[in-house]
Amino acid sequence: MAQHIREVMTTPAATRSIPRDAVAVRPDDELPAVVALMRSAGTTVLPVVDGARTIGTVSLDDLLAVLLMETDNTADPYYRRLAEASAGTAGP
């Protein structure tokens, strides 16, 4: 099961506009801490930084997709399709 942001983040970061003063996470941050940070910051997307360089983003959709895909491989088909769509892996 994914435990760190580097395992679920979206790259490249350039796909989204990231404010200079945005709260950010690091690739080694653990998923529960990132969810808590999103809640406290009132956001659903955070930049992922390595030092001063932005290397990607992580969204609540990214985290949800990983959770749904990894928690139960026999999950209800509706929720599996939702997770796959969030991850961008949905088939036709």
Residue 73 lies in a domain: yes
Residue 52 lies in a domain: yes
The boundaries of the domain holding residue 65 are: 5-87
Q: Does the pTM of the predicted model rise above 0.75?
A: no
Residue 92 lies in a domain: no
pLDDT at res. 15: 47
CA separation (Å) from 82 to 1, 37, 46, 66?
19, 24, 21, 11
* Tally of domains in the chain: 1
Residue 76 lies in a domain: yes
Residue 41 lies in a domain: yes
| d(C-alpha 54, C-alpha 64), whole Å | 22
pLDDT at res. 14: 53
- List the CATH number of the domain containing 40: 3.10.580.10
Residue 38 lies in a domain: yes
Task: Give me the half-sphere count of Cα atoms (radius 13 Å) on the Cβ side of residue 32.
Answer: 1
Mean pLDDT in runs of 10 for the chain (92 residues)?
72 59 88 89 90 86 77 60 56 48
- Any alpha helices (H) in the chain, and if so which ranges? 31-41, 60-71, 77-87
